[in-house]
Chains A and B, each alone.
Chain A
Amino acid sequence: KNEVEQSPQNLTAQEGEFITINCSYSVGISALHWLQQHPGGGIVSLFMLSSGKKKHGRLIATINIQEKHSSLHITASHPRDSAVYICAVPPGSQGNLIFGKGTKLSVKP
């Protein structure tokens, strides 16, 4: 069993739809990262959160430490949101991350 599981693996949405991507993990963590990777390969950090909820524009991330689960929501999705979204956790106190397999999102106009 992978230590970080994401669902769904692929997601196609129409522009304007509300999107939810889920991440479950099995290790104890101090924080969880949501990352975005565009087709060119570059990775952008969207959120790092250790409790509750964070919001940046149309993106919302939530985490439930007790249930070891996090969700990334995109409101009013747009074609430019098309990317791979990756959940990652640091299993220890140092610098490594364990990654989920990613969710490939395609938003159609």
Chain B
Amino acid sequence: KAGVTQTPRYLIKTRGQQVTLSCSPISGHRSVSWYQQTPGQGLQFLFEYFSETQRNKGNFPGRFSGRQFSNSRSEMNVSTLELGDSALYLCASSLVGSSSYEQYFGPGTRLTVT
């Protein structure tokens, strides 16, 4: 089985721009979660999608949004980028959800905001 893929792997944007990141889960997995990793805050949960519905959301401003398509692929969008949004963005897929099933992580998208 192919693993979780994320595109692009690296991205450089300037403040005020917006960005869209993509995640393709393992075939058959219906849950996709997104995480932000920074040196200061570590790994933090952004949101989780299951069957095209946002099931859970972390403590992030409304500039962070996402969606999931019928094939379980997910995108996250960050509008009006700030310097503090520079981070590694990871997505993870699982059959149903992390509480009962193993999560499989993608390689991440490293976003740099200048």
Contacts and interface: CB of A to CB of B under 8 A. Distances in A.
Interface stretch (A41-49, A63-71, A73-81): A41-49
Contacts of A88: 43, 98
A86 interface: yes
Interface residues of B, number: 30
Contact of B103 (A93, A97, A100): A97
22 contacts: A29-B99, A30-B100, A31-B100, A40-B107, A41-B107, A41-B108, A42-B106, A43-B105, A44-B105, A45-B104, A48-B101, A48-B103, A90-B97, A93-B97, A94-B50, A95-B56, A95-B98, A96-B45, A97-B35, A97-B43, A99-B44, A102-B42
A95 B55 contact: yes
A9 B51 CA distance: 37
A92 interface: yes
Contacts, number: 78
B48 A96 contact: yes
A44 B4 CA distance: 11
B24 interface: no
Interface of B: 31, 33, 35, 37, 42-45, 48, 50, 55-56, 58, 88, 90, 92, 94, 97-108, 110
Interface of A is mostly: loop
A93 B99 contact: yes
A94 B103 contact: no
Contacts of A45: 102-105
Pick from A35, A88, A95 the residue with the most CB of B within 10 Å.
A95
B102 to A, nearest CB: 5
Interface of A: 29-31, 33, 35, 40-45, 48, 86, 88, 90, 92-102
6 closest Cβ contacts across the A-B interface?
Answer: A95-B48, A43-B105, A90-B99, A95-B97, A99-B43, A96-B45
Given A41-B37, A43-B108, A95-B55, 17 more contacts: A29-B99, A30-B100, A31-B99, A33-B98, A40-B107, A41-B110, A42-B108, A48-B101, A86-B43, A94-B48, A94-B55, A95-B33, A96-B33, A96-B48, A96-B58, A97-B45, A99-B43
